[in-house]
Structure formats: C-alpha cells, structure tokens
Amino acid sequence: MTEAGLSMSRLWIFVALALASVCSAAAQQRAAVFPTSFTIFFQRHSTALSPEATVVLDTVADKVIGDRELMVLIDAYAIGAGAEQASAARGNAVRHYLITRGIAAAVITVSPNVSAADAPHGPDRAEIRLSRMS
C-alpha cells in the first residue's frame, strides 16, 4: 500500500471513531432522562395540585422540553363515589399544568383509573411516565 493510501485509511478510521463517539454521546444524553416515572399525590376529594406536586411537574416539563422525543403518560387515580370523574379531573389538572409549562398537548395522554383503597402508593395520586415516541 502506498503512503497516500495508508494515510487515507487512517483518516477513514479516525472519522469512523469520531462518528461512533458522537453517536455514543447522543445515546447517553437520551438515556439521561431518568427517572422516567414520577408520582404526585392529591388530597382526598381534591383535584388541586399541591406545591410539592408542581415541583415534580416542573421537573417533568424540563425533561420533556429538553427532549422532544418524549411522550407523557398520566395515570390518574381516585377512590369512592365519582372516582372515574375525579381521576379524569386529576389527570386533566396535571395535563393542563404541563401544557402551561410549554409541553405540546399532542404528546400528553391521560388515563383515569379507579383505585383500590389499599393501593401500594395510595388511592389519591397521579403517576406520570415518560416514554420515547416510536
């Protein structure tokens, strides 16, 4: 192999390594969204977001705004009479807050749920999960 051919081979190896490094850095940045699951709590029979909940939701908003490939999945829970309507209202309160923080409504999904009284995380809550768009 000539000196010029050897130099060109080294250049291509360098370019390939540099590209692999950039791809690896991008993958690490995408993986840095963890945790991907958050839980906020509501007072019994309330849909109002507590100051503690808004701190959590601000964190969620910052992660989603920083990575436009993320979707927000909200599972809202309530218990007792009118639980379906209450859980939907809670999920929509979370959704509305995130929208006011700049997250597109199209990437937010709300699922209202009736909770069991002995649910592991409590019956009055919303679980927020971040997921990559496929």
Determine the Cα–Cα distance for residues 96 and 72; give it in Å rounded to an integer. 12
Bridge partners for 76 per DSSP: 112, 126
Containing 86, the helix (H) or strand (E) segment is: helix 83-100
Express each pLDDT in 42-89 by its tens digit. Answer: 998 899 999 999 999 999 999 999 888 999 999 999 988 889 999 999
- pLDDT the model gives residue 76: 95
> Considering the chain, what is the average pLDDT of its residues?
82
Report, as an integer, the average pLDDT of 7-33.
52
- The DSSP string of 65-81 is HH-TTEEEEEEEEE-ST
- pLDDT the model gives residue 9: 53
Helix-strand-coil split of the chain, %, nearest 5: 50, 20, 30
- Is residue 39 over pLDDT 70? yes
- The residue with greater pLDDT, 120 or 46, is 46
